[in-house]
Structure 1
């Protein structure tokens, strides 16, 4: 096949998780949550120790409505490749941070379904990357959005998040061929990353591409 869907595991907090993924392979992006109200939050001290030593993954910092002071402090001390904004951040704010730090960003679009209106909206966006997640809170809740009409969004590298697991991701990848799939809850048991579920998710995606 002439494509393959990339994988992002979000909410990484432990070195043992990174060690496993380094050995097992198959994951392209690791997401680290800097939102203090999240159960997957990683503080600055741990982030410095964990993230700055990573060599083989694209490192994504996940933020929700951060203050300028807070995000600049994180970016000054933590070596991130990409900023992911999950809140109601204004584009001017995102662009300002990019100009100061030279770190690119992506803005998450929270939706319930893909209507004709949203298709027109997304097709007008100039950015070639489009991140779609459920409209339930700020992500990481294990809730899906309706994928119907996903194929009608043109010329975008689509990243899909929200309620994915090793079972339903097979259909998503097979039918819609997204650029990337993003998962947190679907690879966890009792709020902890599961080696078994991570393996199953990676294999499900790779078997369909």
Structure 2
């Protein structure tokens, strides 16, 4: 798929309304909520619902899950109006598709991963997110993967994640030409707490690319 004329931005790990508002004000296209209890950025459905209720129109709300139980995901969807689902575990294509919502699949990239084959295993995904591999964490590691592993072309939108910051996002976009970038730790003052100045600097970096 050709690169978009404008690189989209998702800011993930939102835990506070003030951070969501700062992200939207800076121009983020989507905000993400982590529904994975081990994460320091995890939120409850009630917390996420309160934030979503205060958002303006045309902001995509994304729910991130990691090998979550089907009943738990359905309960979350009943309580939070999420527009897009993001699966970060070992979910199959069928498991991701059964909720009747658009979804993206995250792939944790390591030296031995066949990215094309992994993408092909999830034909129902609206997009593929490429993140850094970590033996114990499913995203939010602050690590970059080898950007040379990013396919030069793809039939579906590719989203670049993993270790992105205001300092490296412009270079990352120039090298990989993704449809979108996804940032979490790179715009924080502490885990789960965003920094408005880093949010703005990140968006400036995206624009400069």
- TM-score, length of structure 1 as denominator length: 0.87
2:35 corresponds to 1:27: no
Alpha-carbon deviations, 1:20-60, whole Å to 9, x = none? Answer: 233x3321010001111111111122122111332331000
In the other structure, the counterpart of 1:80 is 82
In the other structure, the counterpart of 2:52 is 51
Contact 1:114 1:150 in 2 (8 A): no
* Count of residues in Structure 1 that have an aligned counterpart in Structure 2: 202
Contact 2:13 2:42 in 1 (8 A): yes
Q: Which runs of 5+ in 2 are unaligned?
A: none
Q: What RMSD in Å do the two structures reach over aligned CA positions?
A: 2.1
In the other structure, the counterpart of 1:89 is 91
2 CA distance for matches of 1:114 and 1:128? Answer: 24
Which structure carries more helix by proportion? 1
Contact 2:93 2:122 in 1 (8 A): no
- TM-score, length of structure 2 as denominator length: 0.87
In the other structure, the counterpart of 1:118 is 115
Contact 2:105 2:127 in 1 (8 A): no
Runs of 4+ residues deviating >6 angstroms = none
Contact 1:163 1:186 in 2 (8 A): yes
1 CA distance for matches of 2:103 and 2:188? Answer: 26
Contact 1:123 1:154 in 2 (8 A): no
2 CA distance for matches of 1:64 and 1:200? Answer: 29
In the other structure, the counterpart of 1:6 is 8
Given the superposition, is the C-alpha separation of residues 178 and 114 from structure 1 closer, same or farther in structure 2, using an over 3 Å criterion? Answer: farther
Q: Which has the larger radius of gyration?
A: 1
